[in-house]
Chains A and B, each alone.
Chain A
């Protein structure tokens, strides 16, 4: 029994019809969703970019707006994967009993959880691309290297989808998610270099920031926006992937235990 709960995920292509289901639902609300994806990050970026940017000198050889653009892509992809994995995932698991319906078909829980992660990452990808389009249209990035931001958005999506699903597996109700946003997501946004370089923080805070996944995403994004190869790229990618795999495995174990009744 216990052994079965801790078994490694068994992956299959059966996640795909579930992903297709989520896609079909999304298409019905696509317009509202795109506006939602864009409004918040773009207003932050432009508001702070113009407002603070006029007071600040150049940051690492770029304008403050360009500095902010890299962070904005990362935090908006973090947010969209987190919201999808937490609120929408919980609705599908608990409220709508969508998972229950799917699990009565020849599909395993491993397939369902994989589809949730990949779908939340898809949402990140879409929101990342939406923000990038604004960035390119405003001329904040001219480098072809910034195209690498697209796979990065997917990777950040996988990371935060996995971590978010751990919360979903533990949540008794929607209220629970507020803790995750106020204690994990918002602090990450403020500590990991979205609005200012991590090096501005006291040393001990920097140590914490360097453990958090969003810092690694931003360390990759910022050089890409201005056309440089990110230093230690492999290491940052490995950290993000490790978080994603950790989230997938731990959430799967927790879902197995939760749904075993």
Chain B
């Protein structure tokens, strides 16, 4: 038989002390070494198909960790296993030092989740959504009511407290979902594609809020397939494909380890023909995609000088970015 007051069942006092910092939010350098989420050799198959295949993750306290990968790479399945919502076929998970899925429920007392698809309560107002959700964590109504103004302010929804959910814009719903995930003041926040479907303004506001959360010392695990999002927000990234981690590191490390530093994109109707003749001579590696040739180079000057003599072609010279890494690692062909 369980207990309604979930707060009283938080285990291992050695763990609760440093993590329940409440207001003081500086990342403690010593605790940086401790894993707040750890997965070892995780496996999961559905109907004989490996969805997650030998995955290892080690996420430190206070970092924003990004899980990248094309659709169907196994990102959401991984998140659901880490939360203890589905059991892995093999492998071990600890979340906040608790074994998952065995003690997943206890671990989730200190976790917030922003799901991929909105699942706010459409019958309720903004304020009621927060109140009702806080109760699921065993919080008292007075405790939740006391937090609501700050949550609404964080989500820029203060004047929407009494608005019904269906009247909110997509961006407001996402912000409310984020505020809802913070109702229990979690130490770890899982975000599954937090900005998919949002316009640029809404996306930038979410990014700003997520940065504030990392500054407060929260640990963030997010999945995305927006490389600019990953590059801006994440301290460390892992690229996942076919259920496996294929590369891992800081955004800069991923670029340095996987790809030449300079990219020259060459476009035009004759780009394909040009590439067959010349691309190999001027670049370490090149790819043809539609009418665009992507030339990956250590030193762009000779190629740029050559291109300036080709009047039928246009080109763009830029530093290599995460998207280049992502496409190199996971291929250019469509998924789904």
Contacts and interface: CB of A to CB of B under 8 A. Distances in A.
B124 A102 contact: no
A46 interface: no
A102 B4 contact: no
A12 B3 contact: yes
A105 interface: yes
Interface residues of B, number: 35
Interface in A158-193: none
Contact of A104 (B4, B6, B83, B132): B83
Interface string A8-28: 001111101110110011001
Interface residues of A, number: 30
A16 B108 CA distance: 18
A103 B121 contact: no
A11 B3 CA distance: 10
Contact of A105 (B4, B121, B123, B136): B136
B2 A101 contact: no
Interface stretch (A51-59, A92-100, A136-144): A92-100
A108 interface: yes
B128 A24 contact: yes
Contacts of A111: 2
A234 interface: no
A31 to B, nearest CB: 15
Contacts, number: 83
A139 B128 CA distance: 42
A66 B159 CA distance: 55
A231 interface: no
B2 A105 contact: no
B121 A25 contact: yes
A32 interface: no
B136 A106 contact: yes
A100 B132 contact: no
B86 A260 contact: yes
Contacts of B1: 11-13
Contacts of A108: 105
Interface of B: 1-4, 6, 46, 83, 85-87, 89, 105-106, 108-109, 111, 113, 115, 117-124, 128, 132-133, 135-138, 180, 184
13 contacts: A10-B2, A12-B3, A13-B1, A21-B121, A97-B115, A100-B115, A101-B120, A104-B83, A106-B105, A106-B106, A106-B137, A107-B105, A261-B86
